[in-house]
């Protein structure tokens, strides 16, 4: 299978997609909680984690890969949840294949266009020659030089793995992500619509989904509801996992 997927639990399918530079492992703790009620599929998005690398990197392509995975698995319908880039892919999937999506949860991202804002991370990553790395801490030292905060550094370092006993490398496809980063910031096409139950959940201190975005979101997701976890930023599911779980479960149930 082209996508790496961590499966857990039994019941109605719940497919969860991580954000840019993320991996399915980021969701294991929450995944286990959902798995007491659902059959959970934690997906590594294309060009991320242990999934295949491709020359393509845009949300319609990634949504098509999730659809292919569902067909291979015989999943006729699922609850779909995505954070950040995963949320963009989730929205595409819901609009392109609405019959496959029973309910949709979009975490801290909207359908609007977002300017490229990962330049510093990309500069830091591209300045590291992984063929010369002997220790993870050497990569961390580069991140410090580029002014990346502790949380971001640890998040990125989770992607560093031993390709061979002597060779560290990134799990994500850095070349293609760097070349095509502008693709994933594009807006959902204005004529796309998903008319089933949708939850947009945001971090109160994030700024990714603003009050003034709501009318435009409701045009494309007409019965969507908005919920906020106060006091957290873009990584709402990691910063307050209990409230994230409680709010999303009450929506799914």
User: Quick one: pLDDT at residue 116?
Assistant: 85
Segment 160-199, tens digit of pLDDT:
999 999 899 999 999 999 999 999 999 999 999 999 999 9
- Say whether both 232 and 135 belong to one domain: no
3-state class of 242 per DSSP?
Answer: helix
Can you point out the beta strands (E) in the chain? 5-8, 12-17, 38-43, 78-83, 101-107, 160-164, 167-170, 198-203, 224-229
The residue segments making up the domain with residue 132 are: 119-180
User: Quick one: pLDDT at residue 124?
Assistant: 97
- Say whether both 40 and 84 belong to one domain: yes
CATH code of the domain covering residue 97: 3.40.50.1820
In total, how many domains does the chain have? 2
Distance between first and last Cα of the chain: 31
Residue indicated by tokens 């990691």: 238
- Say whether both 28 and 54 belong to one domain: yes
Can you point out the beta strands (E) in 5-89? 5-8, 12-17, 38-43, 78-83
- Say whether both 17 and 66 belong to one domain: yes
Write the CB contacts of 149 (distance below 8 Å, at least 6 apart in sequence). Answer: none
Domain ends where: 157, 180, 203? 180
H helix or E strand, kind and range, residue 153: helix 150-157
Chunk the chain into consecutive blocks of 10 residues (it has 253) and report each block's average pLDDT, rounded to whole numbers: 93 98 97 98 98 96 98 97 98 98 98 92 96 94 96 94 92 97 95 98 96 98 98 96 98 96
Domain ends where: 132, 151, 180? 180
- Say whether both 50 and 83 belong to one domain: yes
Q: Are 87 and 68 contacting, i.e. CB atoms less than 8 angstroms apart?
A: no
User: Quick one: pLDDT at residue 44?
Assistant: 98
CA 92 to chain centre: 13
User: Looking at the DSSP assignment, which residues form a beta bridge with residue 5?
Assistant: 43
- Say whether both 90 and 169 belong to one domain: no
Domain ends where: 134, 161, 180? 180
User: Quick one: pLDDT at residue 1?
Assistant: 61
Q: Are 107 and 226 contacting, i.e. CB atoms less than 8 angstroms apart?
A: no
- Say whether both 219 and 154 belong to one domain: no
- Say whether both 170 and 108 belong to one domain: no
- Say whether both 92 and 169 belong to one domain: no
- Say whether both 46 and 65 belong to one domain: yes
Q: Rounded distance, CA 51 to CA 249, Å?
A: 28
- Say whether both 127 and 172 belong to one domain: yes
């Amino acid at each position: 299978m082209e996508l790496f997927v961590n499966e857990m639990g039994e019941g109605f399918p719940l497919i969860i997609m991580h954000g840019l530079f993320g991996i399915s492992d980021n969701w294991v703790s929450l995944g286990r909680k959902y798995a007491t009620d659902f059959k959970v599929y934690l997906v590594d998005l294309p060009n991320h984690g242990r999934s295949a690398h491709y020359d393509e990197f845009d949300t319609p392509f990634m949504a098509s890969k999730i659809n292919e995975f569902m067909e291979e698995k015989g999943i006729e319908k699922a609850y779909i949840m995505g954070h950040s880039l995963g949320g963009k892919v989730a929205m595409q999937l819901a609009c392109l294949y609405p019959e496959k999506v029973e309910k949709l949860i979009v975490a801290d991202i909207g359908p609007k266009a977002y300017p490229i804002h990962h330049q510093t991370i990309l500069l830091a990553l591209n300045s590291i020659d992984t063929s010369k790395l002997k220790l993870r801490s050497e990569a961390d030292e580069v991140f410090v030089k580029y002014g990346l905060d502790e949380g971001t550094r640890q998040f990125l370092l989770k992607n560093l793995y031993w390709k061979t006993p002597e060779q560290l490398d990134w799990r994500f496809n850095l070349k293609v992500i760097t070349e095509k980063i502008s693709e994933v910031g594009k807006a959902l096409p204005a004529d796309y619509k998903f008319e089933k139950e949708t939850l947009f959940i945001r971090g109160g201190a994030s700024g990714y989904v603003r009050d003034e975005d709501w009318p435009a979101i409701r045009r494309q997701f007409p019965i969507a509801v908005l919920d906020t976890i106060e006091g957290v930023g873009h990584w709402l599911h990691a910063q307050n996992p209990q409230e994230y779980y409680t709010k999303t479960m009450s929506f799914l149930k």
